[in-house]
Structure 1
């Protein structure tokens, strides 16, 4: 590896261990790399601008705003009510309802922390009232967060599609089956937990109660139909779908459910802009860092080292997934994907991994990182909502983590899990 490559890789680990924010770390190292390579300094500005002008990234602020509007406008609350009405009478029904609500909201927001916040803020207290421990409720809310990154639309899928120059629509489809498998596994955990602790079931709802809950929440149920139906029906692109979703949420929240007040719009827009700014700042500087890394041919060198350890594709995939799980636990998803995209695509090509399968595998591994200490964003959100420490929540996470790791293994070693649906729908 070249001198510049050694400085960049070593500097990355040193600065992160020192606690320097990831965006500043990447920006500083990009500038150092350009200086050491004796490039014209104006290239730094050009790379930063290039990272901010990718059209597909416009979907990110749209889906962030849509998720915030749905939470504030009462759509998420009604999704939770429908799920509770339909599942509450089963063993572990309220816990299953939390999973179902997270699955539906994940099909709207595209974000793990947003899914945890929207559903957890309603359900953690309800679960505790009905006999579940508060730690279990917080762990469940943490674990459903990754469903927002697996089930389309998914913000990390959009970012990976841009980085790897792959179809975002196909990547969306690749996450559907893994997301449903994870949700099914969480429902099994819910049943076993409630059965072991003999948590009482809710009374079976009447047909009228079910119809009333669906009628009250029908506009919330239609949100993923509008967004995903428009994408796969060819009505609009994923980027346009984000804006349609935001507009739909705004109209329903203001004029149908009327939970959203005009005076609340400006603070809500500011909140969404702040979230977008943080993500875009990381993407921009990471784009520059990825460029200097690629110019030094570091991805191909790392892939050669990895492939030199073993030529067995099974073991290479195992090492790759272990690396992604560890990095997902200690790095921000966006910056990690931007930094590693060159390495991962090179290794994937060497072992004959389909690019769509690779993209789904990367995103789902980093989705698991959202629930894993020390940097699991969904874990932070659930801890804040529940009032419990990270350690208290983490003690209840292990069955959900086992489910997620099992899904990762299926995605890595059973191509049909991610490729069947994109292939079926073209």
Structure 2
């Protein structure tokens, strides 16, 4: 009965539109009250969930991304991407995807990508003659590359939950992220050719060189992060601090687009964003503790293994579960609640933890573009001033493409384990 109350309140909160963090805390409180347990457990378990050293990466990388974005990074990245691929059919759509791949190596979050790249590209694409639903769809779909290419907020959460090296998790996402981005570029080109979308004239190697030099210091931040992790010189937390200092120096003294008076506001916004994420982590840890106390992870594992021990069937079942969950639940909450139970199941059938973590995160990223809780979908549709229906229809080819990449990464461990193996 107590478990039914927990899940019922949780489902009810989601249905009426309460924030996920509030829903997790409210359902946990109702469970404890019904069980007659002291409510002091809530702050205790919240603190235990947040008191993890590796979670210090989160405010660091958020601050670094905000400083770089405030320092004029987005237009420089878009200009470079446009110089590379803008001359092809559907060039602005390809620029959108390429820009998201480059921006993802700095922000680490899909929402920041959708808002920043979308704010520039969607109006520009509409002015150039692209349909508003397509402009929103390609932006929403490509924004999901951000949390796969390092740095990545979901990968930090996974490392904190499982004890897997965050550095290895970052590196593991690089190849799948590039595969996802390149596949979406192919999809964009096919759609552009079929619909005779416009393209721009080739701007020449001079513009390509100038735009590269303009974006160099921004792109170097990704190299700094990956290089520090691969070399072992810095931990992920130290890398986040270095990235923040680097972003400030580049924005304020190299690009000179980051005024000193804007820095306090950026720091406050970054702190609020990080606090919201950590509050979600804390409440989800309480909820997860209750699930473990009720032996839900063991029941899930035993239930699936009673049906099959075939690794490939288990991978299919995990993917189906996460695809459905991703449609209704925010990514970080879904990871905190489901990752450990599903990791236990995956390890029982011989799936490598890093391999599992990568395809689990990739899976939930797809949920950012699917209704009813696809936040990137809503952001981009709002920027495009387009109804959701046409945008969802335009998204279908990208969803199919991303699901194909998901299953390719799921069934071929090499794509997610090769780069981390080089760190050993």
Q: How does 1:121-140 map to 2 (within 5 A)?
A: 121-140=119-138
1:184-203 matches, within 5 Å, as: 184-203=182-201
Which residues in structure 2 correspond to 1:90-105 (within 5 Å)? 90-105=88-103
1:121-177 Cα offsets, whole Å, 9 max, x none, are: 111122223332121111111011111111111100000111111111111122112
How well do the aligned residues superpose, as a CA RMSD in angstroms? 1.8
Select 1:378's aligned residue among 373, 376, 379: 376
* 2:266 is the counterpart of 1:274: no
1:219 corresponds to which of 202, 217, 220: 217
Gaps of 5+ in 1: none
Residues 73-84 of structure 1 aligned to structure 2 (within 5 Å): 73-84=71-82
Q: Which moved more, 1:94-103 or 1:387-396?
A: 387-396
Q: Answer with 266-275 or 158-167: which moved more.
A: 266-275
Task: Provide the C-alpha distance between the structure 2 equivalents of 1:290 and 1:120, rounded to a whole number of angstroms.
Answer: 35
SS at structure 1 position matched to 2:147: helix
How far the C-alpha of 1:118 sits from its partner, in A, is 1.8
Question: Which residue does the alignment assign to 1:305?
Answer: 303
1:174 equivalent in alignment to 2:169: no
Q: Alpha-carbon deviation of 1:389?
A: 2.8
Which runs of 5 or more structure 2 residues have no equivalent in the other structure? none
Q: In the alignment, is the contact (CA less than 8 A) between 2:168 and 2:423 conserved in 1?
A: no
Task: Name the structure 1 match of 2:387.
Answer: 389
Q: Is the 8 A contact 1:5 1:298 kept in 2?
A: no
- Alignment partner, residue 291 of structure 1: 289
> 1:194: Cα distance to partner?
2.0
Cα distance in 2 between the residues matched to 1:389 and 1:400: 18
- Distance in 1, matches of 2:135 and 2:23, equals 36
Query: In structure 1, how many angstroms separate the alpha carbons of the residues matched to 2:65 and 2:384?
Result: 21
Contact 1:71 1:77 in 2 (8 A): no
- Cα distance, 1:354 vs. partner? 0.8
Distance (Å, rounded) in 1 between the aligned partners of 2:264 and 2:386: 31
Instruction: Judge which range, 286-295 or 306-315, deviates more.
Output: 306-315
8 Å contact 1:152–1:176 — kept in the other structure? yes
Shift of 1:48: 1.4
The CA distance in 1 between the partners of 2:289 and 2:41, in whole Å, is 10
TM-score by length of 1: 0.94
Alignment of 1:86-165 (within 5 A): 86-165=84-163
Indicate conservation of the 8 Å contact 1:44/1:288, yes or no: yes
Q: Deviations over 1:290-347 (max 9, x none)?
A: 1121122111012222333334333222121111011111001111111112311221
| Residue-by-residue CA offset, 1:39-75 (whole Å, 9 max, x unaligned) | 4543332211112211111111111122222222111
What is residue 24 of structure 2 aligned with on the other side?
26
**What's the TM-score, normalizing by structure 2?**
0.95
